[in-house]
A and B are shown apart, each in its own frame.
Chain A
Amino acid sequence: MGQRIVIDPVTRIEGHAKISIHLDEAGDVAETRFHVTEFRGFERFCIGRPFWEMPGITARICGICPVSHLLASARAGDGLLAVQIPPAAEKLRRLMNLGQIIQSHALSFFHLSGPDLMLGFDSDPAQRNVFGLIAADPNLARNGIRLRQFGQEVIELLGGRKIHPAWAVPGGVRNGLSQSGRDQIRAKLPEMLTIALDAIGRLKQLTERYQREIATFGVFPSLYLGMVGPGGRWMHYGGKLRVIDHTGKILIDELDPIDYRDVIGEAVEPWSYLKFPYIRALGYPGGMYRVGPLARINVCTTMGATRADTELRELREQAGPVIEGSFYYHHARLIEIIAALERMEMLIEDDDLLSNELRADAGVNRREAVGVSEAPRGTLFHHYKVDDKGLITDVNLIIATGQNNLAINRTVGQIAQSYIRNGQFDQGILNRIEAGVRAYDPCLSCSTHAVGQMAMEVELYDAQGELLDRVSR
């Protein structure tokens, strides 16, 4: 008789989700699904609001990556005003996004996935959390916390607060950077770079230990979408979009965000509140693509930063020119932290950052605009339509995790198929399935579950759909 296993909720991710695994008569995996079980409604209740308020409202979507929403929204607002924002504002937004990438990636690597990687997938679940990591390797845990703190400080120095700063606005930003703020960032950069380089060294040492995971965590061909700057350089804000296939062939390049709908379609499934975006040219679900750190380091030609490029070259030599396995999201995250710190080193010397010319003023000059930023988890689209006065009439948000939805589902299936045989499974296997999801660092809501205390449940269903077993913790 077949079975269905449900993991509910999935732990150490941002938000609420569950996984169900259907087993066939022989007890092997027939089908898996990653369900997102929360509904937010932002696209509906923003209708009727003045678009100037949208960065502040949409930043509330997430407590981990509010800056990503803030920037994508402000950029859509720039489009509605039809202005080119002051150069200082553009650079300051870039600086804040670098801080955001650093703090969010540090959270994902050290706090959320660190326990799996450093303590082992089969380690005691009671210890497999950030506190267990602190007990086992206090120095590594402290470094991770410090790195995240640094990213948060950059955000606070600019926006006045670490979480939900209402700082980027249509037309620019509200405050500049003080001289003392600049000195503070500059002084901390060398230590942060040392921490990031040390962390990637530690991760590389684990490659041997996790051969089986590396081979089974989301290893399948897919498309990759991400932002690139001039010359194909790694870019996180203000660039154009590029789509490559699993061979590295560029399918779409120089895509202006306003034209995203020509390229990206959105499908809906009855069993999840998360939509399923796909690349139109390849149809649904064949147009499955991945976004986020792995996609960005795959689509870019170079990182545009010396030490990050060295790491990327090494990873490409090891894993191929297009890095396919989702396990490598962890490597990609650390490479991006290094790149972000190096970019910050360059940017911090720019005197424009201290300018007072920060905000362009205009009325409604366009009725529709799209703002895009590279959130830590991937490309984020904010698409607004307004009436002639500036009240929102239509909102479409495409979130990074949504774009990874098909790939996350497929990854769950791949890990389950690889580890579950004849209906046999244990906590370590279930944790690997969760970890496969965690590799994408999905952000399903504004909830932060950094401590990893959300319960997790796995339900096992037979071929007739009868619930046979349920494991929760």
Chain B
Amino acid sequence: MAAKTLTIDGHLVSARPGETLLAAIREAGITVPTLCHLDGLSDVGACRLCLVEIEGQRRLQPACMTMVSEGMVVHTNTPRLQSYRRQIIELLFAERNHVCAVCVASGHCELQRLAGMVGMDHVRYEYLSPNCPVDISHPRFGIDHNRCVLCTRCVRACDEIEGVHTWDVAGRGVNAHVITDLNQPWGASTTCTSCGKCQLACPTGAIFPRGVTVGERPHASERIALIVEARKQRW
């Protein structure tokens, strides 16, 4: 099939048909912030950080969920988008209890990096300061819901890559939270294989190896794409 030609931030770009706008943007060497997207997993368009402006369309579109089409004219970094992205990050910080100074992922955290990227120097919204539990009943891992941004990367990694679907989301709106099995303590899960892919996929310090201290949890989310590629190629 013929390649599609589109304009991204004033540059003419050619993309493969069926390719997402996010992939085309990245191939063009342009950086767009993402959080719920992880190479190797399906996309859900949940975080809204990769929203872009497409000429002729009134609504903003998430680049990860939009397919390229011929003649598209796309803007990825307008003042309006910058303002929304910063608001999104501030809302994430305000929703739960993110305390970088004492977090196991500090220095290796996507949320922290994104806050820097969008220029967040303070949070303009009132903190909700919810009372979130920590579950360290699993012998190897723990989950701290204070640090969870509900990106569902753990849910998708567990379902799509490991294939056991231990993780899922319960509750609605501000009460939504990730759960293991039928909302049992992680250590009591009968489906969990202790593979650790959820921990690899997690962008923050929400899922961590037991026993780590401040800043000690490494960031290794790119290993999910590596596993997918290895499976495909039968390495």
**Bound CA span A46–B41, Å:** 36
A9 within 8 A of B: no
B213 within 8 A of A: yes
Known: A166-B214, A169-B213, A174-B213. A53 touches B102 (CB 8 A): yes
Known: A56-B102, A57-B102, A60-B102. A50 touches B134 (CB 8 A): yes
Known: A60-B101, A60-B102. A49 touches B134 (CB 8 A): yes
B215 within 8 A of A: yes
A288 within 8 A of B: no
Most chain A Cβ neighbours within 10 Å, of B211, B212, B215, B216: B211
Are A53 and B137 in contact, with the CB atoms below 8 A? Answer: no
**Bound CA span A56–B214, Å:** 6
Q: What is the total of A-B residue contacts with beta carbons within 8 Å?
A: 42
A22-61 residues with Cβ-Cβ distance < 8 A to B are 48-50, 52-53, 55-57, 60
Chain A residues lying within 8 Å of B133, measured Cβ to Cβ, are 48
Are A389 and B102 in contact, with the CB atoms below 8 A? Answer: no
**Bound CA span A389–B141, Å:** 11
Are B136 and A391 in contact, with the CB atoms below 8 A? Answer: yes
Interface footprint category on A: 10 to 19
A174 CB → nearest B CB, Å: 7
A83 CB → nearest B CB, Å: 12
**Bound CA span A174–B214, Å:** 11
B104 within 8 A of A: yes
B174-196 residues with Cβ-Cβ distance < 8 A to A are 187
Chain A residues lying within 8 Å of B45, measured Cβ to Cβ, are none
A75 within 8 A of B: no
B142 within 8 A of A: yes
B160 CB → nearest A CB, Å: 29
Chain A residues lying within 8 Å of B137, measured Cβ to Cβ, are 389
A191 within 8 A of B: no
A144 CB → nearest B CB, Å: 29
Are A166 and B215 in contact, with the CB atoms below 8 A? Answer: yes
Chain B residues lying within 8 Å of A169, measured Cβ to Cβ, are 213
Residues of A whose CB lies within 8 Å of any CB of B are: 48-50, 52-53, 55-57, 60, 164, 166, 169-170, 174, 361, 389-391
Pairs of residues from A and B, 6 with the lowest C-beta to C-beta distance, nearest first: A56-B214, A166-B214, A57-B102, A169-B213, A56-B102, A389-B136
